[in-house]
Structure 1
Amino acid sequence: MKKLIVAALVLAGSLNVFATTNPVKTQSSTITMVQDEYKEIAADAVPAAVKSTIESSFPGAKLVKAYAKEGNTEYKLDIAMGDKSYTVFTDAEGKIIKK
């Protein structure tokens, strides 16, 4: 009878070991956006050729933000058309650059 009681206690104790919960590990990540070498400029500083290219290529688009590369050789333009936004790259003459 003693062996039966001891066996029952050992069995009950071992079930408690398996009934424990394992802590859940969560991962967090950070996204960092790099702006190449572009610096934000005022919309007035964008050359007329670049503005006319945007107006003719994207009718009804609004210039939201403008960025220029060192030396003003390339421009990165954030434009909005309705509820959608786009990023367009141009050179100083207004030619659209694909990136």
Structure 2
Amino acid sequence: MKKLILSAIVVLGTMSIHANVLPVSQNTNATVTIQTEYTEVTADAVPAAVKTALQTAYPGAKLDKAFVNEKKEYKLEISVGDQKATVYSDVNGNWLKI
């Protein structure tokens, strides 16, 4: 009977070793990117202030595509010679950093 109790204590003792809870890191970083939806518009729909700012900042630039979002911000795909770029402007021709 002593051997049975002793073996039960040994078995339960070894099982409790594996019952330790490991620490869980609570440092969680979440990145949320909100992208506004742009819809394509014709080059004629781009305001004159935006076109003027484009020609002032990028002389000789050709407007390939233009997009606008609900906040009246314009995404302009332009080409200057061999190079292509995408620039962003508000309705007044002020450049935006996105």
TM > 0.5 between the two?
yes
SS in 2 for 1:64: strand
SS, match of residue 59 in structure 2: coil
Distance in 2 (alpha carbons) for counterparts of 1:50 and 1:36: 19
- What amino acid is aligned across from residue 79 of structure 1 in structure 2? I
Moved >2 Å (runs of 4+): none
Task: Measure, in 2, the Cα distance between the counterparts of 1:36 and 1:96.
Answer: 17
In the TM superposition, what is the alpha-carbon distance from 1:70 to its structure 2 partner?
A: 1.8
Give the length in aligned residue pairs.
Answer: 64
Q: Determine helix, strand or coil for the equivalent of 1:54.
A: helix
SS of the equivalent of 1:93 reads coil
Distance 1:39 1:65 in 2: 11
TM-score (norm 1): 0.62
CA distance in structure 2 between the aligned counterparts of 1:36 and 1:70, rounded to whole angstroms: 8
Match of 2:58 in 1: 58
Q: What amino acid does structure 2 have at the position aligned with 1:70?
A: E
Partner of 1:43: 43
Which SS does the other structure have where 1:94 is aligned? coil
**2-structure distance, mates of 1:57, 1:84:** 15
- Cα distance per residue 1:18-52 (max 9 Å; x no partner): xxxxxxxxxxxxxxxxx741000000000000000
Long gaps (5+) in structure 1: 1-34
1:84 is matched with 83
Gaps of 5+ in 2: 1-34
Task: Report which stretch shifted further, 62-71 or 84-93.
Answer: 62-71
Matched AA of 1:61: A
Alignment RMSD: 1.2
Equivalent position amino acid for 1:93 in 2: N
